[in-house]
Chain A
């Protein structure tokens, strides 16, 4: 089944404790991205990747890192999480940025 898989689905962590949210797609898509969704602010792009080893900042990259060592994986790294990073996170992939987008199930992160 074609899908985008994120893990974990839910995570509660403490301020400053490094964490990684994994994202994997099995559709051989070149384009992958991360979004966060917050009440009143909608969906905002954090980082995107046009292909392996090519990543760039979205609208709200501060406090996040990404890497794209393999085509299928695009992990989101929070080196030192803070409470303002409490949010619902989505990974997405598509053949290219102008094509149909598929989202992962979402990761609900709480930083206390």
Chain B
């Protein structure tokens, strides 16, 4: 099945810094999503982005499907950005599920 690798596994920032999280996948996808799991365990959908670029406030994401990667950018980070960021993908003609990466744990210090 498709493999999803996220990097870095851990990231520590000072408030106000920018960061880039990466998601590599091993096969063609028709579905790619980024999620944020906050310290209370809630999973929030950040972006549905099988291709192209999207922006939402301080966050933006780019997926280059032909090169099999996606990037999540966080600018001017805040302590509330802390948590784990997951990338999840689905494949055309594959099983009806999302395959999740292991996540990037982000800690933003004040």
Q: Do A and B assemble together?
A: yes
Query: Taking beta carbons and an 8 Å cutoff, which residues of A are in contact with B?
Result: 31, 33, 42-43, 45, 48, 50, 56, 58-59, 88, 90, 97-103, 105-106, 108
* Separation of A17 and B42 alpha carbons in the complex (Å): 27
Interface positions of B from 12 to 63, Cβ below 8 Å from A: 30-31, 33, 35, 41-45, 48
**Complex contact B31–A102 (CB within 8 A):** no
* Separation of A56 and B97 alpha carbons in the complex (Å): 11
With A42-B103, A43-B86: A101-B98 Cβ-Cβ less than 8 Å: yes
Determine the chain B residues whose CB is within 8 A of the CB of A100 once the complex forms.
33, 45, 48
Name which of A43, A45, A103 has the most chain B CB atoms within 10 A of its CB: A43
Determine the chain B residues whose CB is within 8 A of the CB of A97 once the complex forms.
31, 90, 96-98
Determine the chain B residues whose CB is within 8 A of the CB of A42 once the complex forms.
100-103
Determine the chain A residues whose CB is within 8 A of the CB of B45 once the complex forms.
100-103
* Interchain nearest-CB distance for B101 vs A (Å): 8
Q: How large is the interface on B (under 10, 10 to 19, 20 to 34, 35 or more residues)?
A: 20 to 34
Determine the chain B residues whose CB is within 8 A of the CB of A31 once the complex forms.
96
Query: Taking beta carbons and an 8 Å cutoff, which residues of B are in contact with A?
Result: 30-31, 33, 35, 41-45, 48, 86, 88, 90, 92, 96-98, 100-103
**Complex contact B97–A45 (CB within 8 A):** yes
Determine the chain A residues whose CB is within 8 A of the CB of B88 once the complex forms.
43, 101
Determine the chain B residues whose CB is within 8 A of the CB of A33 once the complex forms.
97
**Complex contact B100–A101 (CB within 8 A):** no
* Separation of A45 and B86 alpha carbons in the complex (Å): 15
**Complex contact A56–B98 (CB within 8 A):** no
Q: What 15 additional pairs, Cβ within 8 angstroms, besides A98-B30, A99-B31?
A: A33-B97, A42-B100, A56-B96, A59-B97, A98-B90, A98-B92, A100-B45, A101-B45, A101-B88, A101-B98, A102-B45, A103-B42, A103-B43, A105-B42, A106-B41
With A42-B102, A98-B30, A99-B48: A58-B41 Cβ-Cβ less than 8 Å: no
**Complex contact B97–A48 (CB within 8 A):** yes
* Separation of A101 and B35 alpha carbons in the complex (Å): 9
